[in-house]
Amino acid sequence: MFDRAARGGRTLPGMRSSQLIIPVAALTTLGVLAAPAPASASAAPLAAPCSPSASLLGFSDALDKTELGGTAVSGLSALAVTGGRSAVALVDNLGTTPARFYDLSLRLGRGGPQVAARKVTTLARPDGTPYTGADFDGEGLVAERGGRTILASSETEPSIRRFRRSDGRQTAELPVPARFRVAPAGQAARNQTFEALAATPDGRTLYAGMEGPLSADAPGLQRIIRYQGRAGGRYAPAAQYAYQTDPSLGLVELVALRHGGLLALERGFTPGIGNTVRIYRTSTWRARDVSRVPSLTPGSALRKKLLVDIVTCPPSGATARQPQPNPLLDNIEGMALGGRTRDGRTVLYLVSDDNGGATQITRVYALAVR
């Protein structure tokens, strides 16, 4: 979803949870390649420390304010690494712009990520008519095993739909519990629904995360729905978990690890100051299922442990077009694991959503995390 504060909207209240350390496991293999960095990539030194658990490998602004196939490569709200040197990025749509995703080339060089848009695909209904920003606001993305299909969440209704990667045609839609519908149909607020979507390595479990609370829940307590099924097949809701964000932050992305582990991306915006972006480790292992809890209250949330606050990363030559506490920061919304570095750490990619605006940047980041 777009950064509402930058557009004159509001931020979310919230509270911070207690902490639990969860190990991070790599999902794919993508080595760090010793290739020279292009001019669009940062000149950051390898592994510039951000926290005890994370280091900045670099960033790239190569996608910023570019076009492909007559479309603006902007509004990138979700990212999925699809193996080798490829990835997919989903657009959150404004107005009547076409709902779409981009196939990217993505690799890691000495100066940071090297990225380019290679193909644009419009998302369409089963009958072939295209979705637009009027009826589809893409926020969460999963590239299913085999790479032939993707799952994309829209926070318009909200919905989770399956599309063919080859031509963008919809082939299925997942069930959504009634209370998660936008009011008055349900208890969700507009633009505060399925911002996050993640799948476990085996494809049997999906997690759909709400950016904001349901009207019956306490401020700062977001619900995460766990779906069970199989990649390319049917999924059904199996459980719900409570996740408590830090004050004024929303839950904007998840990465699913093994054994119930999750990485959670929290983000907020304060006018005149800039963005706050933090990544936490958490776990649903033996956690309480709150599906039957009518109203969430503090104390019911998953425990979490801070992995990295992006403000603590070295700026590494980054520039910002609006006030930021660190010029490296922007409206980061997408997150995906991309393999391991040569020293055995996990590569974590991030992407920022420029909302199609002149004061924000489409930026791809690479971190090495433990």
What is the count of structural domains for the chain? 1
Q: How many helices (H) and strands (E) does the chain have?
A: 0, 23
Tell me, what CATH number does 138's domain have? 2.120.10
For 33, the domain range is: 4-369
* CB-CB contact of 267 with 12 (8 Å): no
DSSP annotation string for 38-69: PTTB--PPTTEEEETTEEEEEEE-TTTTEEET
Query: From CA 52, how far away is CA 4, in angstroms rounded?
Result: 32
Query: From CA 289, how far away is CA 287, in angstroms rounded?
Result: 6
Picking from 280, 291, 278, 276, the residue whose alpha carbon sits closest to that of residue 257 is: 280
Query: From CA 114, how far away is CA 140, in angstroms rounded?
Result: 23
**Residue ranges in the chain whose pLDDT is less than 70:** 1-46
In sequence order, what are the beta bridge partners of 308? 279
**DSSP helix/strand/coil, 311:** helix
195 token code pair: 């911002």
* CB-CB contact of 226 with 284 (8 Å): yes
How much is the pTM?
0.88
pLDDT of residue 179: 97
DSSP annotation string for 138-192: EEEEEE-TTSSEEEEEETTTTEEEEEETTT-BEEEE----GGGSBTTSSSBPTT-
* Per-residue pLDDT tens digits for 265-274: 999 999 999 9
* Residue 184 CB partners (closer than 8 Å, separation 6+): none
151 token code pair: 């799952």
